[in-house]
Amino acid sequence: MSEDAPPDPGQEPDLTPEQQDDILAAEIALGLAAPDDAQQAVARLAADPAFAQRVRDWQERLAVLAEELTPVMPPVRARQRIREDLGHISAPLSHMIDSRIRWWQRPLPLISAAAGAVAAVALVVMLALPVLRGPELPSYQAALASSDATMRVDARVDGREVEVMLMDGTVPEGRDWQVWWISPDGSAPVSLGLVARKGPMRTSLPEGIDMVEGVRIALSEEPAGGSPTGQATGPMFAMAPLRRS
């Protein structure tokens, strides 16, 4: 054969050791190396810094290429086949279909059973409500007014819930009107809070006091924020008994 004859296409060209290492490094980065070649390459990574650098260079080139790719969703059939091969799902119609319909799969019996259960629960709740609520407690009211009738405050007690509302008059600026619970046994008045300048003041009876006949509601004028001592510091300018409404 003449020296000028072209090389045989079926014959692999001779590669230098550097070129062979570069190809092997690319195959390692792509995960395409044959098992034996991959095992030898992994052993070389720790002992041959130059070869390890070739692998890192290929990994960086491929990472840049991957960032420029546009993700494409595989076809439905391909995803189905991948899931089947991985064992995550079964192939369609791979199991016998039971044509029998259980009773709970029939809509009418299921709906009827659910409706019956709801009705039974509702009946139990209705029967138990009086027991759960307990006996209804009476309500009491008091209307507190100043001697010149320029101020009126209404108080109402339902069970242990108290509501006080300013109906007429104005609370002085820089002062507050404090509400007091005065028991008929002569014990010290108990503060229920301050009259709101707008809207109702709602609270609950403090522990240790109960609604009994003869209780009175009183108002005193106190410094802003209420009495600093826990007892009325000013005169009680309005007082009224709580009467059953």
CB 225 within 8 Å of CB 209: no
pLDDT at 2: 47
Q: CA 114, CA 104: separation in Å to the nearest integer?
A: 11
**Coil, helix or strand for 36?**
helix
pLDDT at 41: 83
Using a cut of 0.75, tell me whether the model's pTM lies above it: no
User: For residue 236, how many other CB atoms are within 10 A of its CB?
Assistant: 16
21: phi then psi, degrees, rounded to nearest 5:
-65, -35
pLDDT at 53: 92
- Torsion, Cα 108 110 114 117, to 10 degrees, reads 110
Cβ density class 14-34: b for 16+ within 10 Å, e for less = eeeeeeebbebbbbbbeeebe
CB 155 within 8 Å of CB 164: yes
Series of mean pLDDT values for 10-residue runs along the chain (245 residues): 52 79 87 83 85 90 77 75 73 59 56 60 57 66 84 91 92 91 88 92 90 89 88 83 89
pLDDT at 1: 44
HSE at residue 240, side-chain half, CA atoms within 13 A, is 19
The burial class, CB within 10 Å (0-12 / 13-18 / 19+), for 64 is exposed
